[in-house]
Structure 1
Amino acid sequence: MTVKISQTPELQAFFKTVSGADSDQGSPRAKQLLFRLVNDVARIVEDLEVTDDEFWAAVDYLNRLGARNEAGLLAAGLGVEHFLDLLQDAKDAQAGQVGGTPRTIEGPLYVAGAPLCQGEARLDDGSEAGVATVLFLEGVVRDTEGNPVPGAVVDLWHANTQGTYSYFDSSQTDYNLRRRIVTDAQGRYRARSIVPSGYGCNPEGPTQECLNLLGRHGQRPAHIHYFISAPGYRHLTTQINLSGDKYLWDDFAFATRDGLVGQVVFVDDHQAAQARGLDERFAELEFDFQLQPAVRPAAEQRSHRPRVLQNS
């Protein structure tokens, strides 16, 4: 039986040195993770006979990925972010924490500090009037027993008709299509916005480059992101993908899940439009959420991953 060089005592001792095991300084957790990472990389190189050219091409790819700020996008596209959700689902099931609206990926485009509104809000700045279809969005936040949760914060964000997001698209105003809405006494939130568009990875970017090598597209269906939080309840990170989209069940980021499809209803009735203060076709979408109770205070908070305007 051939001994793998990467697993010899000499190399294992070297990897421990590389990972800081010989020092009493630094982070024990970082050392543990880096030791495993270096070992796994070494085994991949050895087991798959990775050439020097392939290895350094991968290093160059990582440089370009970081330079374009697409690491988060690739994490979604390779299913790693979805895996984190599935892993947490499995842990929840084992602990008996079931029920409530399913979680799904956050994605890399959240911006903290959106305007806080009571009960209802308008999300769009009107810049796509005459182009976009007005969307009236509403729903109720409840607990797992079906009781409304007043005072919950519904933090939502989505793309415009071009599939781009404010702060990442310099042509949009600050916080366009981003708001935080505090639910009313009946646990209800209401919003006026526009029907968002799906979008794809930049065809010239490193994420799509990787997907091309895998023979995969980089398209997402139209969707709306949500953070929902309330004292005493587990924070929910989720999104609803919109019905009728070509990529609804073929999302490159694997975010579509049972229970997270929003049924969009387009209304062409002129009288109904006038009642809404409009002269044109509009859309309606109703989507309710259920929050699990928080088993510990930390569960009420969203993750601490780095985000734009993190401290807002």
Structure 2
Amino acid sequence: MNTDFVKTEAVQTLLDRATGKDAEGGNPRLKAITRDLLEAVMETIVKHDISESEFWQAVNFLQQSAGEFGLIVPGTGIEHFLDLYMDAKDAEAGLTGGTPRTIEGPLYVAGAPLVEGEADLSVDPDDTDTLYMSGKVVGPDGEPVKDAIVHVWHANSKGWYSHFDPTGEQTPFNNRRRIKLGPDGQYSFRSKMPNGYSVPPEGATDKLMQALGRHGNRPAHVHFFIEAPGYRTLTTQINFGDDPFAADDFAFGTREGLLPVPNRQGDSAYIGFDFQLQRAKAEAEQAFSSRQRLEA
């Protein structure tokens, strides 16, 4: 059947009633967005002749995978699409430059210890190399950004994040810190080398990736939020350029300019990386998104 079926009077009337088009009250923007989403779902059902059983299999999958939405969203490219969309809007507004943004992922934890000077992220022993990372935070003209706070977090050598580690072996806030920078905008930290990881085996994300003929692996990486008065808050991460999954990240977090190759010497690895922020034009640009995050 042709998707024009969705444009018939009966279906259009259903969409209007379902989204409260003529009802008093409610949020007009939400009504319009919900209507477009529902219409797109209906068109997909007709276009692919989705059966009733197939539809309810999809609903069952969504109900069972609620705990993994934080992985499914990046794994299906939606979180990366948001980055591309924000980049396009910036370009349209004439805003260029700065360190590329990229996905946050679902594993940030608010309330990490705030430290100054060189930070040691790793509290727990970990039989792996030591990572040393340093650089500076600058503005669009190369000026040092003072009073910046660098939020940094990453996995351990087994690919587990503290607070999300199913083994329960990690100390709270292991491999997590907030670093308060001085007027020179310099930062430095050391930690135990992180490793990449895969989505939970046989979990909802894994099953979806297998059904799509894809894998669920991420390369070794380090996450960052960088905030400073007068500048846009930056959400980004670096992927290790020598990791075998650096060019095939299931979460699409790899971006040009965010692939440093660690300088490995003996049992140590060194990364030098500078961050460049854009100036904020509105107070909201200095805030974090409304994403729900774990607090500990």
Give the TM-score band, short-chain normalised. over 0.9
| Counterpart for residue 278 of structure 1 | none
Which residue of 77, 85, 105 corresponds with 1:87? Answer: 85
Change (3 A) 1:244 1:14: same
**Residue 150 (structure 1) aligned with residue 136 (structure 2):** no
**Residue 287 (structure 1) aligned with residue 285 (structure 2):** no
Which residue of 252, 263, 269 corresponds with 1:265? Answer: 263
Q: 1:49-68, aligned counterparts within 5 Å? A: 49-66=49-66
In structure 1, C-alpha distance between the alignment counterparts of 2:2 and 2:96, rounded to whole Å: 47
In structure 1, C-alpha distance between the alignment counterparts of 2:63 and 2:253, rounded to whole Å: 27
**Residue 302 (structure 1) aligned with residue 275 (structure 2):** no
| Counterpart for residue 15 of structure 1 | 15
| Counterpart for residue 229 of structure 2 | 231
Q: State TM-score, norm by structure 1.
A: 0.91
Which residue of 195, 198, 206 corresponds with 1:197? Answer: 195
**1:264-303 Cα shifts (integer Å, max 9, x gaps):** 11222xxxxxxxxxxxx22221111000111112111121
Amino acid at match of 2:200: N
In structure 1, C-alpha distance between the alignment counterparts of 2:29 and 2:94, rounded to whole Å: 28
* Deviation, structure 1 residue 3: 7.4
In structure 1, C-alpha distance between the alignment counterparts of 2:15 and 2:147, rounded to whole Å: 52
Unaligned runs of 5+ in 1: 269-280
**Residue 133 (structure 1) aligned with residue 119 (structure 2):** no
Amino acid at match of 1:64: Q
| Contact 2:3/2:43 (<8 A) preserved | no
In structure 2, C-alpha distance between the alignment counterparts of 1:236 and 1:225, rounded to whole Å: 11
Which residue of 112, 128, 150 corresponds with 1:114? Answer: 112
In structure 1, C-alpha distance between the alignment counterparts of 2:139 and 2:198, rounded to whole Å: 35
**1:1-50 Cα shifts (integer Å, max 9, x gaps):** 96733211221111111112232233222222211111111111111100
In structure 1, C-alpha distance between the alignment counterparts of 2:2 and 2:106, rounded to whole Å: 44
- Bigger mean CA offset, 10-19 vs 239-248: 10-19
Amino acid at match of 1:305: R
In structure 1, C-alpha distance between the alignment counterparts of 2:180 and 2:16, rounded to whole Å: 51
In structure 2, C-alpha distance between the alignment counterparts of 1:208 and 1:238, rounded to whole Å: 24
**Residue 253 (structure 1) aligned with residue 251 (structure 2):** yes
| Counterpart for residue 244 of structure 1 | 242
In structure 2, C-alpha distance between the alignment counterparts of 1:294 and 1:176, rounded to whole Å: 32
Amino acid at match of 2:218: R
In structure 2, C-alpha distance between the alignment counterparts of 1:239 and 1:2, rounded to whole Å: 44
Aligned residues: 294
In structure 2, C-alpha distance between the alignment counterparts of 1:29 and 1:305, rounded to whole Å: 20
Unaligned runs of 5+ in 2: none
In structure 2, C-alpha distance between the alignment counterparts of 1:291 and 1:81, rounded to whole Å: 21
Identity, % of aligned positions = 47
**1:66-102 Cα shifts (integer Å, max 9, x gaps):** 1xx1112111011111111011111101101100100
Amino acid at match of 1:251: D
SS in 2 for 1:138: strand
**1:99-153 Cα shifts (integer Å, max 9, x gaps):** 010000111111111111113211111332xx12111111100112111112110
SS in 1 for 2:201: coil
In structure 1, C-alpha distance between the alignment counterparts of 2:42 and 2:241, rounded to whole Å: 45
In structure 2, C-alpha distance between the alignment counterparts of 1:14 and 1:243, rounded to whole Å: 51
In structure 1, C-alpha distance between the alignment counterparts of 2:188 and 2:214, rounded to whole Å: 37
